[in-house]
Amino acid sequence: MRAAERQLEMLREMGCNAVRMSHNPSAPEFLELTDRMGFLVVAESFDMWERRKTPLDAHLIFPEWGEQDMRALVRRDRNRPSVIMWSIGNEVGEQYTDAAGAEVARRLREITREEDATRPTTTAMNWAKPDMPLPAVVDLISLNYQGEGIRQEPEFAGTDRIRTPPQYLPFREKFPDKVILSSETASTLSSRGVYLFPVSPLVSAPVRDGRGGDSTIRHVSAYETHAVDFGSTPDKVFASLDSHPFVAGEFVWTGFDYLGEPTPYYSSRSSYSGIIDLAGFRKDRFYLYQSRWRPELPMAHILPHWSWPERIGLVTPVHVFTSGDEAELFLNGRSLGRKQKGAFEYRLRWDDVIYEPGTLEVVAYKSGREWARGTVRTSGEAAALKLTPDRSEILSDGRDLSFVTAQVVDADGTFVPRADHSVSFHLEGPGEIVATDNGDPTNFQSFVSPRRRAFNGLVLVIVRGIPGQPGQLKLIATSNGLRAGETLIRTNVHQP
């Protein structure tokens, strides 16, 4: 439960206020957290109905179990204050079966209404169009990727891939009295801390080798300008939403990287679409969403890092995500110009910066007044490990967890953003190491290993106490050639 709570805390820090379950009933413990923490929830039932997506999926049991499962979900969760709507399906094959598919949706909607007449029903559609019968059945219109348009780039013209022009207005015209929301947007791809050159001049483009991706290392650039072929970057989604103010909002695919679906590199272990990586480390994209979803928060985030010994004298674009409306960038004290966000612009770009070691600083402004500052510095050689627990006191119940971040730093304590040292962890006291990770989607090492190679300077280690044995834990991290790092964690019988 603590692991899920930590995830929700990070989403709240970003400005997220609602989550959509995908694509099955959530654990009741998760909904206990959303109730307590004030998140809104779209409770979702099925990823397929009678038409299959894979040979052995739930279509085999839907005719017998669909009604029972739908009723069970609503009965279990209808008294949850966080649940605001029921989603009866996600991208189901019945979108393609006209009236027959709409009839399945009608039956599920009626089942839902019989169990709970207080909340609306919807289904997430990635293909169904306004003139088809299925959208008319549900109470709310939920669109996956269709609002921004799917594969509208010129390179997809003439292909047999699904291509859909932007659909917000057609649905609005057909259903003027129905709420429209984006139930799935973006599917932006990136690997935390990996910056590939050249940088796309576009705000949204598909990933290809030499254009945001590198299939030899299986990573996608963290400049956050590339998405899956059918998706879009946050910049493009924000512009589409701002152009259609009648749209209620968006749910982003996805909050966190997850095991499986490693598009576009299928030999990797995990996805690239998360705003936060699998270890729980924030990608740069986190701050782009934060700049939009928390406009009252003074913040300014610079990317990329500024440790590029091989790029001296080369163009190294600098982007800034800020809740301000303009900003001035400085390199080693020299102004590189002041830029203002234009209409439908959500990042500030200095695309002609020539790299030199030192300090990059941005000063952001809002309504003409200084708003926030951000800084990145060139690091020295890796010298030490620094450990930072998310909580230094936990319960000694064998379930509570402390998530400890290990950073590789130089002699001055500056983060070394490209470090890949192998780090070993040892715990003293009445506790145990549960797992380690580094957020690298290409890494297949077991999560239970007490050793992990840093991925772009970071490693995560998860610690818990022994039930009924309160005391002090001492976590030690070591790596050849680096000064060891350590931190103390106290476990208590009662809540600290």
**Same domain? 323 vs 387:** no
Q: For residue 493, what pLDDT band results from cuts at 50, 70 and 90?
A: confident
**Same domain? 29 vs 164:** yes
**Same domain? 90 vs 29:** yes
The whole-number pLDDT of residue 494 equals 77
Q: If you average pLDDT over residues 106-116, what whole number do you get?
A: 98
- The predicted-structure confidence for 355-366, as pLDDT tens digits, reads as follows 999 999 999 999
User: How many angstroms separate the Cα of 134 from the Cα of each of 93, 164, 170, 266?
Assistant: 11, 17, 15, 33
Nearest in space to 231 (alpha carbons), one of 143, 128, 135, 343? 143
Domain termination residue (choose one: 264, 293, 322) = 293
Domain termination residue (choose one: 252, 273, 293) = 293
Which residues of 15-159 form beta strands (DSSP E)? Answer: 18-20, 40-44, 83-90, 121-125, 141-144
The whole-number pLDDT of residue 338 equals 98
Q: If you average pLDDT over residues 213-233, what whole number do you get?
A: 98
- Spatial contact of 124 and 212, defined as CB atoms under 8 Å apart: no
The Cα–Cα gap between 89 and 102 comes to: 12
How does DSSP classify residue 315? B
Q: If you average pLDDT over residues 360-374, what whole number do you get?
A: 98
Nearest in space to 213 (alpha carbons), one of 202, 203, 227? 227
Structural domain of residue 325, as residue ranges?
300-377
Q: Is the pLDDT of residue 21 over 90?
A: yes
- The predicted-structure confidence for 394-438, as pLDDT tens digits, reads as follows 999 999 999 999 999 999 999 999 999 999 999 999 999 999 999
Query: Is 91 a catalytic site residue?
Result: yes
Q: Is the pLDDT of residue 284 over 80?
A: yes
**Same domain? 328 vs 286:** no
Specify the CATH number for the domain of residue 97.
3.20.20.80
**Same domain? 346 vs 404:** no
**Same domain? 214 vs 320:** no
Q: For residue 16, what pLDDT band results from cuts at 50, 70 and 90?
A: very high
Longest Cα pair distance anywhere in the chain, in angstroms? 70
How many domains in the chain?
3
**Same domain? 284 vs 355:** no
Q: Chain-wide mean pLDDT for the chain? A: 97
**Same domain? 311 vs 445:** no
**Same domain? 360 vs 474:** no
Q: Is the pLDDT of residue 496 over 80?
A: no
Query: Is 173 a catalytic site residue?
Result: no
Q: Which one from 44, 94, 148, 184 is the annotated catalytic residue? A: 184
**Same domain? 286 vs 414:** no
**Same domain? 435 vs 362:** no
Q: How much of the chain, in percent, has pLDDT values that exceed 70? A: 100
**Same domain? 273 vs 401:** no
Domain termination residue (choose one: 254, 274, 293) = 293
Helix (H, G, I), strand (E, B) or coil at 235: helix
- Spatial contact of 435 and 462, defined as CB atoms under 8 Å apart: yes
pTM of the model: 0.97
Q: Residue with structure tokens 């009933």?
A: 25
Q: For residue 181, what pLDDT band results from cuts at 50, 70 and 90?
A: very high
Q: Is the pLDDT of residue 495 over 90?
A: no
Specify the CATH number for the domain of residue 433.
2.60.40.10
